[in-house]
Amino acid sequence: MDIQYVDTYELTRAGHEIRGQAPIDQFERLIEDLPDQTDTMVSWTIKGEMDSFGQRFLHVHVVAAPLLECQRCLKPLEWAVDSQNRLQVVNSEAALNVDDGTDADPDDAIERILGSQRLDVLALVEDEIILSLPYVPKHDVCPSLPEPLEEEPESDAVRPSPFAVLDQLKKN
């Protein structure tokens, strides 16, 4: 079975679900700026839905474990992606950018994709992973820092010296 392309109209009308997986190194756009990947798999589920108004949706669930570069210690950091998203399938380019009148938080606005009889599943999955990556990835606790960070000489700068305190007392 060809997992690369899917007919969004068929999938949403029938309410079908497709599953697939592929090695992470097939996602070239995702990994081009990332460190060398271990050979983890990316897996996904895409379920079609059509509501009673005839609106079409895809429920996309992607699980992946890309290696990112920690921006603190510059060592690889495995980032667990477990992303669920609901996309509205629209029929025209114009409908992609329609303002649906909810000017609430843009994060709440539903994402739209253009319906297709040959939707590129890997590209869709790849977009979902890319969107879920942190802007500045960091270990919670870095395994090792190249150099211990220099102690800030903050005690001297912040606290007045004992002598300054004595001076102050004498003046009073």
Write out the residues near Zn ion by the rule CB under 5 A.
70, 72-73, 139, 142
For the bound state, the minimum distance from the C-beta of residue 136 to Zn ion, rounded and expressed in Å, comes to 11
For the bound state, the minimum distance from the C-beta of residue 44 to Zn ion, rounded and expressed in Å, comes to 28
For the bound state, the minimum distance from the C-beta of residue 69 to Zn ion, rounded and expressed in Å, comes to 9
Q: What is the DSSP secondary-structure string of 72-136?
A: TT-SEEE--EEEEEEEEEESSHHHHT---S--S-GGGSPEEEE--TTEEHHHHHHHHHHHHS-SS
Q: Which amino acid is at 49?
A: E
Pick the closer one to Zn ion by CB: 7 or 69: 69
For the bound state, the minimum distance from the C-beta of residue 93 to Zn ion, rounded and expressed in Å, comes to 42
- Which residue from 25, 144, 21, 8 is spatially nearest to 75, judged by alpha carbons? 144
Pick the closer one to Zn ion by CB: 17 or 78: 78
Pick the closer one to Zn ion by CB: 62 or 70: 70
> Strand, coil or helix: what is 32?
coil
For the bound state, the minimum distance from the C-beta of residue 132 to Zn ion, rounded and expressed in Å, comes to 19
For the bound state, the minimum distance from the C-beta of residue 82 to Zn ion, rounded and expressed in Å, comes to 21
Judge residue 19's burial from the number of C-beta atoms within 10 Å of its C-beta, 0-12 exposed, 13-18 middle, 19 or more buried: exposed
CA-to-CA dists, residue 109 to 36, 38, 83, 100, angstroms: 35, 35, 17, 9
Pick the closer one to Zn ion by CB: 37 or 85: 37
Residue 49 CB neighbour total at 10 angstroms:
18
Pick the closer one to Zn ion by CB: 20 or 137: 137
Pick the closer one to Zn ion by CB: 48 or 76: 76
